[in-house]
Structure 1
Amino acid sequence: MRAAVLESFGTALQIRDLPDPSPTSGEVLVRIAASGVNPLDTKIRQGHAAHAGTVLPAVLGLDLAGTVTAVASDVTGFSVGDEVYGMTGGVGGHQGSLAEFASVDHRLLAPRPHTLSTHQSAALPLVVITAWEALVDRARVHPGQSVLIHGGAGGIGHVAIQLALARGAEVYATGSPASQDTIRNLGATPIDYSAESVAEYLETRTGGEGFDVVFDTVGGTTLDDSFTAVKHYTGHVVSALGWGTHSLAPLSFRGASYSGVFALMPLLTGRAREHHGSILRHATELADAGALTPRLDPRTFDLETIAEAYDIVETGRNRGKIAITPTEGPA
């Protein structure tokens, strides 16, 4: 099979011919129709993501959508011809999705949404798993709550808005001036972080009480801001980028709580992989009900144009999630 291989951090991906994989115990073989590109994928290529445990040479690509072409004898629930999606590799020594085929743990997969294209499906796994772990698993978002999402127009943020709305919450989201219409069109109340301080939007949006849930998808000083934007006593801050050095004093003085999300853990440790498959099944139900649609960049890319796709994501010039087609002909 053809695949894009990273041979040295910080260098260009090389197109190579590799042996076709075959499924071992617990695995299915997937012919990959689309590979989603995340900012984390580009950081791994640059050598700026030690937490991903990448072992070189490596086939990168966290997310995929494709068709099952073979099933190990001990796997139930999947059959040849099933259209699936998942976050299945690209870290911890597991082959990624920038290839024509991948043999993956079936627990990481789910039937992909019928209402979405293959490329839209490939754009979802990492971001929807992260948003679900944050808003559902950790914060337990429910009807009547107010939810603030930092970075509402981003890859994780725009999915988190839709998920919080589907959970019955009143949703607010911060973003740049250019992202206000995108946030509004997603159904959230936009907040221009460059025009309003935390104290100002806390007063105008919550009467100074704070938000029930604050989801940080940005990190750095935005996480510090989250600690002062959450409601006293019952508020919950959750972050997908909760590393670095932060003072917990503002959070503690509000009597609120904090959780972190590390969506790569099942891939890296083998723990709770079936939960990722379960999340994606829920995501499929939401998408097929019209409650979840990823923003997709309209440009198309294949293995020969991977460098351009990665450069667009690295420099923030994408107009939605980007997906690459690694196979030729019908999937």
Structure 2
Amino acid sequence: MRAAVLTEYNAPLQIREVPDPRPGPGDVLVRVMASGVNPLDIKIHRGEAAHAKMAPPAILGIDMAGVVEAVGPQVDEFQVGDEVFGMTGGVGGVAGSLAELAAVDARLIARKPRTLSMPQAAALPLGFITSWEGLVDRAGVAEGHRVLIHGGAGGVGYLAVQLALARGAQVFATGSPSSQEVIRQTGATAIDYTSTDVDQYVDRYTGGEGFDIVVDNVGGATLDASFAAVKRYTGRVLSALGWGTHSLAPLSFRGASYSGVFTLMPLLTGAHREHHGHILAHAAALAGDGALVPRLDSRSFALEDANSAHTVVENGTATGKVTVLPQL
């Protein structure tokens, strides 16, 4: 098969012929129809994501959607011809989705929703799983909650907004001036963080009480702002980017709680992988009901264009999730 291979960090991916993967026990072989490109893929490409544990030579690509071509031993829930999607590799030394074929752990995938195209399905896994693990698993988002999502037009934030709305929450999302309309189109209340400070929007939208749940998709100073925006006593701050040094005083003085989200853990450890498959089944159900629609960049990239796709994401010029289509 053909694959885009990382031969050394921060060097162009090389299109090479490599042996076809074989599905082992518990695996399925998937013909990859679309590979989603995440900012984490770019960091791995540059050699800046040691926690992802991906050393050259390697096939990158964390998210994928495709068609089952073969089923390994001990797999009963999928059969040849099933359309599936998932967050299946590209970290932890497991070959990713920038290839024509991928052997993937069947616990990590779910059936693709019929309402979504392959590129749309490939745009969901990492962002939706991150959002679910924070909003549902950690914070129990539900009707009546006021939820603040930082970076509401971003790859994760855009899905988090839709998930929180689908579960009955009242949702507010921060973004730049250019992203305000995108946020409003999801049904959330848009907040321009460049012209409104934390105290102002906490007063305006919560009467000074703070938000029940604050989701940080930016990190750094935005996580610090989250500690100041959360509701006293019962509030919960969530972040997948809490890797810096932060003062917990603002959070402690509010008596609130913080939860970290490390979405890669099942891929890196092998534990609890079935939970990712279950989460994606929820994503498929929401998409089937029209409550979850990813935002895609309008450009199409073939496997030979994988470096261009990475450049678009790295430069921040994408207008939605970028996908590579290995079968083009």
Length-normalised TM-score, structure 2: 0.99
Aligned to 1:80: 80
Aligned to 2:200: 200
Aligned to 2:145: 145
Aligned to 1:297: 297
Give, in whole Å, the separation in 2 of the partners of 1:174 and 1:199: 14
SS of aligned partner of 2:200: helix
The alpha-carbon deviation at position 73 of structure 1 amounts to 2.2
Say if 2:96 is the partner of 1:96.
Answer: yes
Say if 2:233 is the partner of 1:233.
Answer: yes
Aligned to 1:127: 127
Aligned to 1:314: 314
SS of aligned partner of 1:142: coil
Give, in whole Å, the separation in 2 of the partners of 1:305 and 1:100: 14
Over 6 Å off, 4+ runs: none
Map of 1:1-331 to 2, 5 A cutoff?
Answer: 1-328=1-328
The alpha-carbon deviation at position 55 of structure 1 amounts to 2.2
The alpha-carbon deviation at position 308 of structure 1 amounts to 1.2
Q: What is the CA deviation profile of residues 195-229 of structure 1, one whole-angstrom value per residue up to 9, with x for unaligned ones? A: 00100111111111000000000000000000000
Give, in whole Å, the separation in 1 of the partners of 2:193 and 2:14: 40
Give, in whole Å, the separation in 1 of the partners of 2:204 and 2:222: 19
Q: What is the CA deviation profile of residues 272-315 of structure 1, one whole-angstrom value per residue up to 9, with x for unaligned ones? A: 00000000000000000000000011100011111111111001
SS of aligned partner of 2:156: helix
SS of aligned partner of 1:3: strand
* Amino acid in the other structure paired with 1:305: D
Give, in whole Å, the separation in 1 of the partners of 2:73 and 2:112: 22
Give, in whole Å, the separation in 2 of the partners of 1:240 and 1:190: 21
Q: What is the CA deviation profile of residues 109-143 of structure 1, one whole-angstrom value per residue up to 9, with x for unaligned ones? A: 10011001000000100000000001000111010
Count of equivalent residues = 328
Give, in whole Å, the separation in 2 of the partners of 1:300 and 1:186: 24
The alpha-carbon deviation at position 174 of structure 1 amounts to 0.3
Give, in whole Å, the separation in 1 of the partners of 2:305 and 2:55: 24
Give, in whole Å, the separation in 1 of the partners of 2:10 and 2:66: 28
* Amino acid in the other structure paired with 2:258: Y
Give, in whole Å, the separation in 2 of the partners of 1:224 and 1:271: 31
Give, in whole Å, the separation in 2 of the partners of 1:303 and 1:117: 18
Give, in whole Å, the separation in 1 of the partners of 2:302 and 2:49: 24
Could you say what the CA RMSD is over the residues aligned between the two structures, in angstroms? Answer: 0.6
The alpha-carbon deviation at position 245 of structure 1 amounts to 0.3
Give, in whole Å, the separation in 1 of the partners of 2:83 and 2:311: 29
Give, in whole Å, the separation in 2 of the partners of 1:250 and 1:12: 44
Give, in whole Å, the separation in 2 of the partners of 1:156 and 1:21: 30
Give, in whole Å, the separation in 2 of the partners of 1:74 and 1:271: 17
* Amino acid in the other structure paired with 1:215: V
* Amino acid in the other structure paired with 2:29: L
Give, in whole Å, the separation in 2 of the partners of 1:308 and 1:28: 29
Per mean C-alpha deviation after superposition, the further-off stretch among 301-310 and 114-123 is 301-310
SS of aligned partner of 1:214: strand
* Amino acid in the other structure paired with 1:221: A
Give, in whole Å, the separation in 2 of the partners of 1:55 and 1:108: 22
The alpha-carbon deviation at position 48 of structure 1 amounts to 1.1
- Contact 2:4/2:304 (CA < 8 Å) preserved in 1? no
SS of aligned partner of 1:56: coil
Give, in whole Å, the separation in 2 of the partners of 1:10 and 1:295: 28
SS of aligned partner of 1:155: coil
The alpha-carbon deviation at position 82 of structure 1 amounts to 0.3
Give, in whole Å, the separation in 2 of the partners of 1:46 and 1:326: 22
Length-normalised TM-score, structure 1: 0.98
SS of aligned partner of 2:323: strand
Identical aligned pairs, as a percentage?
65
Give, in whole Å, the separation in 1 of the partners of 2:29 and 2:326: 15
